[in-house]
Chains A and B, each alone.
Chain A
Amino acid sequence: MNIIVLVKQVPDTETRIKLKAGSTDIDREGINMVLNPYDEFAVEEAIKIKEAGGGSVVIITAGEAKAEEAVRTALAMGADRAIRLDGAEFAGADSYSTAKALAKAISAEQYDLILCGKQAVDDDSVQVGTLVAAMLGIPSVNMVTKLEVAGGSMKASREIEGGHEVVEVPTPCVITAQKGLNEPRYPSLPGIMKAKKKELKAVALGALGLSADEVGAAGAKSAVVELSLPPERKAGQVFEGEAAEIVPKVVKLLRDEAKVV
């Protein structure tokens, strides 16, 4: 099976977010960047399917040169080669124009299955996988926690409200990975060495075959106009001592002061 995995590099979840004055981006100084946690599940699943049945795993990312670190991680886990959409034209994209560029890059490849994360933990959009599928005119199944190859189709368990459902979908299709799908492997040392020699191709807008007004900020359907931090929480009251005395006090405060019970 020929599998494409979409990955994004994002700030480590430990990051304390600071704003950058006069900008619609956060202050990226000193931030540790990692492979998006949900994309790790996607990469792992692709490699498992390839190990079981053969085929290829191609990683695609849209991001700055620094994002190649995350791509190398995916290659070190066992993916075969990678593509990075490269150029200033891709900057300032929203989910829509990101998906547009990714879908175009995918359409130049042979593919049976596209795997991606359900969500990038920076913009938390929960859109790109589904958008890519719709743009390619193929079906998608979201938030998948279990995946099986079944002939010319995939059988996927997905999370729904208060339970889960099993969906059968013909290939080619897009599957977005939810936690629980698998346990991502750590890249091994030989894996890391090998990854350095694997093909990582930077593809510019011209080679992609889209025009500048279809991608990045120009092709976006929405724009970030301002960032803000959440309001600081006021310091609360902390009670220490005999539980039998404190608990009734707190319950009373919940009723009379906070008015939440």
Chain B
Amino acid sequence: MANVLVIAEVKEGKLKKVTLELLSKGQELASKAGGALEAVVLGSGVEALAGEMAQYGAAKVYVADDAALAAFNGEAYANVLVKLIEASKPGIVLVGASINGKDLAPRISAKIGAGLASDCTDLDVADGKLVVKRPIFAGKAFSKITFKSDIQIASVRPNVNPLAAPNAGASPVVEKIDAAAGDVKAKILETHKSAAGKIELTEAEIIVSGGRGMKGPENYKLIEDMAAVLGAAVGASRAAVDAGWRPHGDQVGQTGKTVNPNLYVACGISGAIQHLAGMSSSKCIVAINKDAEAPIFKVADYGIVGDLFTVVPLMTDELKKLLA
């Protein structure tokens, strides 16, 4: 009997979608492992989120509520979570493979001596133990991983697990836990938000990306316009980032972000192997390139050979009409 513990992630007072995805998947894993699905949320004023977690199957929600936990701090959060995990002894711990999730997971792994697989895209239980699949070489291959430790931790990619139907009638069982963060050495001095409401690339369902073919930073307006119509995030190739047209955080590829949206629109991107590594698991790829020989067309579901400065605005208009 092994319980599954989902570590919730809160953004601007709301649960992130990946948390609901993990609860949805967690129900299945818990029943295969013969245990219960539990969740934990840390923050300030977060108890109200327990209701939604119960609707997605959490039999119990641990709440660590403290003003000191209002902003994510990997050290502080890990201290609180390690105490909970040592006391409640789940068999499986799931956390979203976000920037914060990937900061947190190894801290917990080291403190409790538990195996950790990062960025998992497939999870199952066999003979009571967790078995996962995860991309290596930025998605050029996948490895299947089993665990030797009693507690097994996986950080899980957003957008790979479908949401279960919420049970509107479920009411939460809340257990308040010790929220004392203990001795925290890293102090956050300043926080800078580059753009409010910006969609994180690794979690985006649609991405519009521009490469060297954009010719200059000013032309990204074309990409942003299409992204706005689609509710999409904006990405870039390394050539565009190296030219200083876009911030580092926008880079998609082997040394940038690995993304898996439903739709990836590549504009003026040739499709170098390092770029493809980061985006070829997208469900649908559209390529816009004036060179019919560009390798991006080999992975595109729909390719448009043409000048992006004509094609992109036309497409934005067409999408606008469609989605109006």
Contacts and interface: CB of A to CB of B under 8 A. Distances in A.
Nearest to B248: A180
Contacts of B196: 162
B185 A164 contact: no
A59 B269 CA distance: 37
B188 A139 contact: no
A161 B100 contact: yes
A161 B114 CA distance: 27
A199 interface: no
B99 A229 contact: no
A233 B110 contact: no
A94 interface: yes
B197 to A, nearest CB: 8
A211 to B, nearest CB: 15
B308 to A, nearest CB: 10
A221 interface: yes
Interface stretch (A78-86, A120-128, A189-197): A120-128
A230 B281 contact: yes
Given A143-B99, A243-B314, A261 B322 contact: yes
Contacts of B186: 139-141, 167-169, 173
B303 interface: yes
Interface of A is mostly: mixed
A165 B140 contact: no
A145 B146 contact: no
Interface residues of A, number: 83
Contacts of B109: 96, 127, 131, 221
B302 A253 contact: yes
A239 B292 CA distance: 9
Contact of B140 (A17, A127, A133): A17
A145 to B, nearest CB: 7
Nearest to B202: A161
B136 A221 contact: no
B305 interface: yes
A162 B251 contact: no
A230 B255 contact: no
Nearest to A164: B192
Interface stretch (A7-15, A50-58, A62-70): A7-15
A165 B192 contact: yes
B116 A95 contact: yes
Contacts of A42: none
Interface residues of B, number: 95
A17 B191 contact: no
Point out which of A133, A162, A163, A170 has the most chain B C-beta atoms below 10 A from its C-beta.
A162
Contacts of B176: none
B65 interface: no
Interface string A108-133: 00000000000001111111001101
A222 B116 contact: yes
B322 A255 contact: yes
A243 B190 contact: no
A141 B186 CA distance: 8
A221 B98 contact: no
Most buried by A among B136, B194, B206: B136
A173 B198 CA distance: 31
A124 B118 contact: yes
A246 B306 contact: yes
Interface in B94-110: 98-100, 102-103, 105-107, 109-110
21 contacts: A26-B137, A26-B141, A126-B106, A126-B118, A134-B110, A139-B186, A159-B99, A161-B11, A163-B192, A166-B188, A167-B188, A170-B185, A221-B116, A221-B148, A228-B142, A238-B304, A239-B303, A240-B306, A244-B314, A247-B304, A251-B315
Given A121-B137, A243-B311, 15 more contacts: A122-B137, A124-B118, A126-B118, A160-B191, A162-B195, A220-B148, A221-B109, A221-B149, A222-B116, A230-B141, A236-B285, A238-B303, A239-B305, A250-B286, A251-B322
